Amino acid sequence: MGKITYKKLKGSQNMRQRLLLATLKSTPILIEDIHADDTLPGLRPHEITLLHLFENLTDDCVVEINETGTKLKYKPGIIVGGSNLVHDCGVSRAIGYFLEPLILLGLFARKPLAIILKGITNDSKDPSVDTFRSTTFPMLKHFGVPSEGLKLEIKSRGVSPHGGGEVHLTIPNVQHLRATMWTDEGMVKRIRGEAFTTRVSPQLGNEMIYAARGIFNRLLPDVYIASDYRKRLEAGSGNSPGYGISLVAETTSGCCISADITISYGGEAEDIESEDKKELIPAADVGEKIASVLLEEIEKGGVVDSTHQGLLFLLCALCPKDVSKVRVGKLSPYGIETLRQIKDFLDVQFVIKPDPSTGTVILKCWGSGMKNLSRKTT
């Protein structure tokens, strides 16, 4: 066996994308100076948990970490996938942090993926599991991913800081993605959403819904926001009551633009079913705020919201050797960093052309020709 050549990288930035692209491309990587200048240097708990997830999904993966955690050697294995898998995502980042790489790994796995994820389902830092179900999944069909076998069930909700949520995820595997020409944003035809409460009064959910509808109903008639009231075992940890709302604007051309927000207490009470506890932000204000955020996302233009730019660019780059063309609003910092990582790992460069007439940006690329050579459907 010949000597392994590692791609040398520095710093902790874009750790998730680096590990994902290294795995998809079968590129061994060596990362040094990970959080080296921080008070507590080395890999963070969620980064270690992410490495464990990659180990669970692959065969013959090798991970080496030095004593201080500031140096990582990662040799990717074959993406196997499989069923009856369980992964604890911890509580330093929400399940949404792990879902983006998990979806792409699942698509290119040898076997269809079925996994149980435990941890925080909704927080203010990462996209909620609701957003992945209502917005991310419909986005995949534009790249030829079948809706059959694509499923996310929320068995229990868990908010920060103690989590306790559980979701069941299934991802079909594909031979390859399909290049897309996706530039028509369409017009917003309806608003859908879901407000949830865990271990707090369900009235808070109703207040969020009423406030959000008060803004949207001035603009269009088709607005429906469901209510999801969770208690006891379905409400996660007893020390983490909270509430939140996830919204999606569906357009006439099949685009889904999303926004979500979560408020959590992290109190000591075992169960809070009344409104005696002071709220961090009044529920009505939460409803109005997230409605305004969604309207801002719609105003930016593009076929996806700013949260999904990175995943959109990754899907385009992983397509067969054909041209993909997409439209987005103003490039987000995460979207820009994703473009850089794609160029570094896949050698795919996007042609970026602003559209002054709409304030949007059109991006075009030639796919890397990614194929799933080991795919099994059963």
Distance between CA 98 and CA 95 in Å, rounded?
5
Q: How confident is the model at residue 109 (pLDDT cuts 50, 70, 90)?
A: very high
Q: Which residue from 133, 108, 2, 134 is spatially nearest to 54, judged by alpha carbons?
A: 108
Distance between CA 65 and CA 218 in Å, rounded?
56
Mean model confidence pLDDT for the chain: 92
Identify which has the larger pLDDT, 374 or 184: 184
Tokens at 374, concatenated: 């080991």
Distance between CA 210 and CA 195 in Å, rounded?
10
Q: Decide if pLDDT at 50 tops 70.
A: yes
Lowest mean pLDDT among 144-153, 196-205, 269-278, 313-322: 269-278
Overall residue count recorded for the chain in this entry = 378
Q: How confident is the model at residue 140 (pLDDT cuts 50, 70, 90)?
A: very high
pLDDT of amino acid 240: 80
pLDDT of amino acid 165: 93
Mean of pLDDT values over 106-130? 95
Domain 1-79 indexed as CATH 3.30.110: yes
Distance between CA 174 and CA 369 in Å, rounded?
13
Bridging pattern class, strands 111-119 and 351-355: unpaired
Q: Decide if pLDDT at 182 tops 90.
A: yes
Q: Decide if pLDDT at 378 tops 70.
A: no
pLDDT of amino acid 162: 85
Q: Decide: 260 and 127 in contact? Cβ < 8 Å.
A: yes
Q: Which fold has domain 188-267+280-300?
A: Dihydrodipicolinate Reductase; domain 2 (3.30.360)
Q: Decide: 286 and 311 in contact? Cβ < 8 Å.
A: no
Q: What is the pLDDT of residues 226-284, one digit of tens each?
A: 999 988 777 677 678 889 999 999 999 999 999 999 998 864 333 334 344 444 688 99
pLDDT of amino acid 238: 65
User: What residue ranges do the domains of the chain occupy?
Assistant: 1-79, 188-267+280-300, 304-366
Tokens at 259, concatenated: 């926004």
Tokens at 207, concatenated: 């207040």
Q: What is the pLDDT of residues 361-371, one digit of tens each?
A: 999 999 999 98
pLDDT of amino acid 374: 65
Contacts of 104 (CB under 8 A, 6+ apart): 20, 24, 311, 314, 315, 318
Compute the 3-state secondary structure of the chain and give helix, strand, coil in percent, each to the nearest 5: 30, 30, 40
**Which stretches does DSSP call E strand in 17-140?**
29-32, 58-59, 62-65, 72-75, 78-79, 81-88, 111-119
